[in-house]
Amino acid sequence: MIAIIGLGNVLMGDDGVGYHIAKILMEKPPPNTEVIDAGTSLVKIIPSLSDYNVIIFIDAVDFGGNPGEICLIEPGKEKINSERAISLHEINLNSLVQMKGMLGIKAKIIIVGIQPARTNTLTLELSDEVKRAIPKAVRIINEMVAKFLARHDSG
């Protein structure tokens, strides 16, 4: 089973992009997935994360890219810059990845990060750059799920 988890605060503009993408995926979820809107609280979903083989997090991530740019981060395959929190929430994704073994999480973790244009403004609106990135992010997630399921089915 695959978890697709949208993170973000919809009241803070682009920080809510994970929620918006999760909402789209909830309308037509990929096969063998559970799509979850975690809001800004990873803490409330940590107990259930050990139930999954793959966890795909979707979040606004400041990786120094252009607004709306998408970055796929696969902890373990590439080093995460631990000096920069890769999430804006109470437990950032970097901390979760570092603690996953202690928490009993054996799943492969993939982070779909969307570079925000703004996250410090109280607004329900996403920036135009981030809005334009949403269909591509949805396509990338659907393709990742299909590839994982094809590998899983073939052996």
Q: What confidence tens digit (pLDDT) does each residue in 45-75 have? A: 777 888 899 999 999 988 889 999 999 988 7
Q: What confidence tens digit (pLDDT) does each residue in 137-146 have? A: 999 999 999 9
Q: What confidence tens digit (pLDDT) does each residue in 81-126 have? A: 433 344 544 445 566 666 666 666 788 889 999 999 987 889 999 9
Per-residue pLDDT at 129 exceeds 90: yes
Rounded alpha-carbon distances, angstroms, from residue 101 to 60, 87, 98, 105? 24, 20, 8, 6
For 129, the domain range is 2-153
**CATH at residue 147:** 3.40.50.1450
Q: How many domains does the structure of the chain reveal?
A: 1
**Do the bridges between strand 54-60 and strand 2-7 make them parallel or antiparallel, or are there none, so unpaired?**
parallel
